[in-house]
Amino acid sequence: MDGAMRTLNLITAIVAIFTAALPSLAKAGVGTSGGGHVVVCTSRGADALGYVTLLDLYEAQRVLNLTLRASRVSLEAELELLAGQLQIVFGNINGMPRPLTADSLEEWWESRVQYIPGLRAQTSDFGEVPPLPKGCALEQIAIYDDKHDVLQVNMHLWDSLDDFNKAALIAHEIIYRERRINDRESSSQVSRFLVGRIFSTEELSDSRSMLTDYRQNH
């Protein structure tokens, strides 16, 4: 009887430990590998850049003091420009079609993305984030599952982005995925810096040169 009781107590303890761990597992998102975030503001106050802005672009302006380039007339035009910029910065990116074009970028995105009403899992891979203006909050717009090569995107937030920010999010997911796989990065900070530079008026160079500049100044 004592042996049976000890076994029962052990099983009960294991169940209790596993049950306690479930909320944190759900929050982290089992199988997720990376995310994307936006700054959502409730009004266009003096400190707000817009209602929904990709974190990468927010930091480019507020932290790096960069001037963002002018937006193009459509998402297709944004992706056409982005394809050439990615070639300058990275050359050939593993897992991406060659040569990069607006059509191949769109195909890469659409073959992986799942637009859903809301994201249940959350990631905390954004590292350090600057203080946000009053009335603004950080929200998760995307979660990338590297294991299954699937990207879940919050449909409401995606629809709230302009084409400039949509193209920047696509760039973020491509760059951050490459750096997670090849450089074992667990934070999106460097990827956000690269996206900010790509969408700014600064002259572009290869990623190694830009990252050297980033590390010398941060």
Tens-place pLDDT, residues 111-144: 999 999 877 666 655 667 788 888 898 999 999 8
15 and 92 fall within a common domain? no
125 and 52 fall within a common domain? yes
141 and 166 fall within a common domain? yes
Residue 174's SS3 state is helix
Question: Cα 79 to the chain's mean position, in Å?
Answer: 17
Residues 157, 190: Cα–Cα separation, whole Å: 23
How high is the pLDDT of residue 8?
39
72 and 25 fall within a common domain? no
CB atoms inside a 10 Å sphere around CB 7: 10
Residues 214, 36: Cα–Cα separation, whole Å: 20
- 113-116 vs 150-154, strand pairing mode: parallel
Are 172 and 87 in contact by the 8 Å Cβ rule? The answer is no
Are 142 and 47 in contact by the 8 Å Cβ rule? The answer is no
Task: Inform me whether the pLDDT recorded for 69 exceeds 90.
Answer: yes
121 and 22 fall within a common domain? no
**Across all residues in the chain, what is the average pLDDT?**
78
4 and 75 fall within a common domain? no
Look at the chain and report how many structural domains it folds into. Answer: 2
Amino acid at 93: I
Which are the contacts of 218, defined by CB distance < 8 A and separation ≥ 6?
A: none
Amino acid at 143: I
Query: Taken in order 152, 176, 31, 94, is the CA torsion positive or negative?
Result: positive
Residues 217, 61: Cα–Cα separation, whole Å: 16
Give the sheet arrangement for strand 113-116, strand by strand: 52-54, 34-41, 136-145, 150-154, 113-116
Task: Inform me whether the pLDDT recorded for 18 exceeds 70.
Answer: no
Paired with 150 in beta bridges are 145
Q: What pTM, to 2 d.p., does this model score?
A: 0.79
Task: Inform me whether the pLDDT recorded for 92 exceeds 70.
Answer: no
102 and 201 fall within a common domain? yes
Question: Cα 91 to the chain's mean position, in Å?
Answer: 21
Domain holding 15, by residue range, is 1-30
44 and 62 fall within a common domain? yes
Most confident of 3-12, 18-27, 40-49, 135-144: 135-144
128 and 182 fall within a common domain? yes
Query: Taken in order 76, 77, 78, 80, is the CA torsion positive or negative?
Result: positive
Average pLDDT, integer, range 26-34: 46
53 and 79 fall within a common domain? yes
How high is the pLDDT of residue 135?
85
12 and 79 fall within a common domain? no
pLDDT band at residue 9 using 50, 70 and 90 as cut-offs: very low
181 and 87 fall within a common domain? yes
- Peptide bond connecting 99 to the previous residue in cis, omega within 30 degrees of 0: yes
Residues 21, 159: Cα–Cα separation, whole Å: 34
pLDDT tens readout for residues 175-201: 988 888 776 767 788 899 999 999 999
